[in-house]
Amino acid sequence: MTDLAQRWEDRVMRAAHPIAFPALLASSRPVQRVPGLGVLVRDAALLRDVLMDSEHFTKNGPGAPSDLWTPVLGPSVLLNMEGADHLALRRRLAPLFSPAYVGALVEASLATSMAALTRRLSAGERVDVVAEAKRNASAMISQLVGLRAEAVDDSLFRRVSSITRVVRLSRPRLTARQAAEARAVLAELTAHARDAYRAGDESTVPGRMRALDLGEREAMGAVGAFVLTGTETLVSYVPRLIALLSDSGWMPRLAADRAGVEPAIAEGLRVTTPSPVMLRSATADASIGGVRVRAGERVILATFAANRALGGFDPEANPAASLKQLWFGAGSHYCLGAPLAMAQVRATLDAVLDAGGAAVVDRAPARGVLIPSYERLVVAR
């Protein structure tokens, strides 16, 4: 990774987490206990071991994702489930994320806006990639909840994003008021999703869920989870990938030869890690890399630190290939929505490359957000 690319990535991370980011990078130990936070894991192999060990480490329990999501989404969504019930729900949702289905979904939702993006860049227009990513995320939300695309505007997007803006490692739970506000936003969204589900409208995701024999409560929980977890990560990653390609000099190389697109996307995911930290709760006494973990302790998986340990952005060497997409998790909780996310990323990058590529001309990191991102990233030919 060039000095310019590294500097901007560090600025994006620090803007989001000015205290936690440098603190989590301060130690070179693979595992250590951090008073007041939990057991920190920074080594990729050990991190994967924890993700694969559902006997000792769970998404439910003190300090785990359930603390955040259960008060908002209820007790039975993929984000806070374990065991046989989790696997059963995952299997039933899997057809929604087959390559054929997500390809058609992205084509239906984004083809027009992607063509417009290529035309605008080709004409010499300056384009804010963050604004584009938000519009595309809104279009996908409209498919998820059965809304008209124009009904999912910036105001609704900000309300969805506001749910997670207040979350920090030191306070991973929402207050009662914040949880109530989050439920109100989701109630507004799922009201439309319920209509689509009950109508059996298979042009929408809720209608497809009914066709797959998901119960209404399961379907609404899944819709809420997809909206909350998928929206911000994509709005974070797409602009950061474009910035990385511009800053590192890879943009014109990919515009001339698309063979490097997939390694570049993988390397971008490794270096940026849009979900930089994963959380687990220990269900029983265990050991991670020789450090004892007590039942009930929180385990902080510093995925971004583990990924970055392999060096800077380098699609040619492609160190990301050795990590087996660790940024999407591992084991039974490997991100079910990864194919949909990747399809959206490819569509946007293809649109930029179809215009011959683009370079960053103006930018500003977002401050006070959970998922590190740009507030503004303006590019032009």
Give the model's pLDDT for residue 156: 66
Query: Minimal CA–CA distance to 277: which of 85, 96, 63?
Result: 63
* Stretch 124-152: mean pLDDT: 82
* Mean pLDDT of the residues in the chain: 88
- Rounded to the nearest 10 degrees, the angle between the axes of helix 65-73 and helix 176-199 is 60
Q: For 76-98, what is the mean pLDDT? A: 81
Angle (CA) 13-69-188 rounded to 5° is 100
Residues 12-26 have pLDDT tens digits of: 999 988 888 887 777
Coil, strand or helix: which one is 379?
Answer: strand
The pLDDT of 302-321, averaged and rounded, is 93
**Per-residue pLDDT band at 166 (split at 50, 70, 90):** low
**Domain of residue 217, CATH code:** 1.10.630.10
Examine the pLDDT at 149 and tell me if it is beyond 70. no
Give pLDDT, residue 168. 65
Task: Tell me the C-alpha distance between 72 and 227, whole Å.
Answer: 12
Across 26-30, 50-54, 156-160, 282-286, least confident range: 156-160
**DSSP string of 95-157, one letter each residue:** GGGSHHHHHHHHHHHHHHHHHHHHHHHHTT--EEHHHHHHHHHHHHHHHHHT--GGGS-HHHH
Nearest CA to 152 out of 109, 91, 90 is that of 109
pLDDT of 224: 80
pLDDT at 113: 93
Query: Judging by beta carbons within 10 Å of its beta carbon (0-12, 13-18, 19+), is residue 85 exposed, middle or buried?
Result: exposed
**pLDDT above 80: residue 148:** no
Report residue 53 as tokens.
Answer: 């060990």
pLDDT at 328: 92
Domain coverage including residue 238: 3-380
Domain count, the chain: 1
**pLDDT given at position 251:** 97
Radius of gyration of the chain, Cα coordinates, nearest whole angstrom: 20
Strand order in the sheet with 38-41: 31-34, 38-41, 298-301, 278-282, 57-58
